Amino acid sequence: MVRYEYRCPACGPWSVALPMGAAEAHRSCPTCGDPSPRRWSAPLLNRMDPAVARERLREEASRDVPEVVTSVPQAARRRARRDPRQARLPRP
């Protein structure tokens, strides 16, 4: 089922779910019965959060053209704290 939109000149926009391709150019308004012309609209696609969309685009781009870094990122420079118990372990 596809949701088609119509616009009644007196009552305003309304929509109806019909099988694909079954929409007519004009349909009777469910409120007043006047013929309403079909209104073209965008398909019902979910809008994504802009931050998520930006990261997905960046992820896709990194598949073919990965970002080039010239230095080690700051977080990777930190050394892990040594555990004092490791000092007592036998050395090879």
Member of 11, 16, 18, 23 binding Zn ion (CB under 5 A): 11
CA dist., res. 15 & res. 3, Å (int): 6
Member of 2, 24, 28, 31 binding Zn ion (CB under 5 A): 31
Does position 29 interact with Zn ion (CB under 5 A)? The reply is yes
Closest CA to 3 of 26, 23, 25, 32: 23
Find the angle CA(3)-CA(6)-CA(35) to the nearest 5 degrees: 135
Does position 32 interact with Zn ion (CB under 5 A)? The reply is yes
Taking the complex as a whole, the smallest distance from the CB of residue 4 to Zn ion amounts, in Å, to 16
CA dist., res. 13 & res. 9, Å (int): 8
**Dihedral angle at the C-alpha atoms of 60, 66, 67, 68, nearest 10 degrees?**
180
Give the nearer residue to Zn ion in terms of CB position, either 4 or 8: 8
Does position 13 interact with Zn ion (CB under 5 A)? The reply is no
- Tell me which stretch binds Zn ion (CB under 5 A): 11-19, 20-28, 43-51, 74-82: 11-19
- Which residues of the chain form contacts with Zn ion (CB under 5 A)? 8, 10-11, 29, 31-32, 34
